[in-house]
Amino acid sequence: MHVRSLRLSHFRNYDSLEVGFHPQLNLFLGPNAQGKTNILEALYCLSTTRSFRAASDEEMIQFGRGEGAIEGVLRREEGEQAIRLELRQGKNKALFLDGKKQKKLSLLLGRLPAVVFSPDDLFLVKGGPALRRRYLDLTVLQMDQGYLAHLQQYERALKQRNSLLRQKVPEMQSQLSVWEEPLARHGAALMLRRREAARKLSDFAGEALGDLTGGAERFEVRYEPNLPLDGPESSVADQMLRALAQARREEMARGVTVVGPHRDDLGLWANGQLLRKFGSQGQQRTGALALKLAQLSLLAEGCRTAPLVLFDDVMAELDAKRRAFFLNRLQQGGQAFLTGTSANDFSAASKAARIFSVEGGKVVRAQDGPGG
Ligand SMILES: Nc1ncnc2c1ncn2[C@@H]1O[C@H](COP(=O)(O)OP(=O)(O)OP(=O)(O)O)[C@@H](O)[C@H]1O
Ligand SMILES: [Mg+2]
């Protein structure tokens, strides 16, 4: 499967745009601030319904406009499909599949899996646990149709329980337990799915890092829930209920729920040392790349179609060996979209790619790839 074409209207610095893509390799070149990342962002929205960098959908609507739209045509074995996302100021976005409006945006998840590589990936290693939870959630969301419902129900129960904890009303105890049952049930579902994904990510990331460093470094991803996960989902839920009961006094004093997967983290280890604390800059960067490569492998396995690779501005940061490694990986993967400021950074890949030059919200095809 691949994206055959993309149409944008009033999206970021694109007034209107229509481009056709190469089924394998697409390269967007141009000076800074011309609209390269905006294209990857639009593709990522078609994959996950949201941006990898905007805090709100409205940021993506062109300045001074009330609405914008992203439309992609997918070519799949079963035929073509048009996905259209409409962004509207002050309203929720709307999804259309082949022109038909859909009630649920979540229908999109897993249809067009995608992984972004960007210089910000470094924060996955160096930053706080919320970024790692998001990385884990976004991976599972694309593979597991049931995960979103657990996540939403968990977040709802957590919000209700926290607001009760803050109110400190007399009948609080009995009301708290009303929310603890769904909290524990959905919490257990989230934790077991996250643990499973983390295990696989650890294997894939270990492999990737081994390849990258010629076997010199061992990499490990450890899932770190804040309660023990023994037995099947129902007994994990029971354990969480008990943990909530035990923590209740502390939580009433602090006015916040401290037990549960909203406090999860992923430990990233290289050669037995915690990367966040002891890794060198280079090790942290390589660790972040390994995590993203692992996500790519896991999604390829879990979604039964090779994910889109969105490679934003990362080539210039890599040394020659890592560059060669990545370009080689790309040839085995699905459709790829790469951005950069100079063709030199892409060595041999630039000969195999369809190249676009991007300038001031205009995209011009500068070279066609083989078979395009
Ligand atoms: N909502 C918006 N409406 C109009 N223009 C926008 C909007 N959001 C961002 N822009 C503009 O889009 C321009 C291009 O952004 P983009 O991030 O795609 O650049 P880029 O080509 O990736 O640059 P770099 O090489 O520096 O990463 C920015 O200069 C910004 O001013
Ligand atoms: Mg950019």
Residue 274: pLDDT over 90:
yes
For the chain, give percent helix, strand, coil, nearest 5.
50, 25, 25
pLDDT tens digits, residue range 197-208? 999 999 999 999
**pLDDT in the model for residue 121:** 94
Could you tell me the residue ranges of all domains in the chain?
1-113+305-372
341 CA to centre of ligand 1 in angstroms: 14
The answer, yes or no, to whether any atom of ligand 1 lies below 6 A from the CB of 38, is yes
**369 falls in which pLDDT band (50, 70, 90)?**
confident
Q: Which residue has the tokens 């490679």?
A: 311
| Of 173 and 340, more confident | 340
Per DSSP, the residues of 209-229 read: HHHHTTT---EEEEEE-SS--
Residue 332 CB–ligand 1 contact under 6 Å: no
**Which CATH superfamily does the domain covering 1-113+305-372 fall into?**
P-loop containing nucleotide triphosphate hydrolases (3.40.50.300)
What confidence score (pLDDT) does residue 318 get?
A: 83
Q: Which ligand lies nearest to the CA atom of residue 68 in the structure?
A: 1
Q: What is the mean pLDDT of residues 232-258?
A: 94
Q: Which of 40-54, 64-78, 149-163, 209-223 has the weakest average pLDDT? A: 209-223
* Centre of ligand 2 from the C-alpha of residue 7, in Å: 19
For tokens 């997967």, name the residue.
261
Q: What is the pLDDT of residue 213?
A: 83
Q: Is 340 in the pocket of ligand 1 (CB under 6 A)?
A: no
Report the alpha-carbon distance of residue 251 to residue 358 in Å, rounded. 53
pLDDT bucket at 169, cuts 50 / 70 / 90:
confident
Establish whether residue 63 lines the binding site of ligand 1, counting it when its CB lies within 6 angstroms of any ligand atom: yes
The answer to whether 336 and 318 are in contact (CB under 8 A) is no
Share of the chain above pLDDT 70, in %: 99
Ligand 1 lined by 68 (C-beta under 6 Å): no
Mean pLDDT of 319-339: 85
Phi and psi (nearest 5°) for 271? 50, 40
Cα(23) to ligand 1 centroid in Å equals 25
Task: Name the residue at shortest CA distance from atom 28 of ligand 1.
Answer: 33
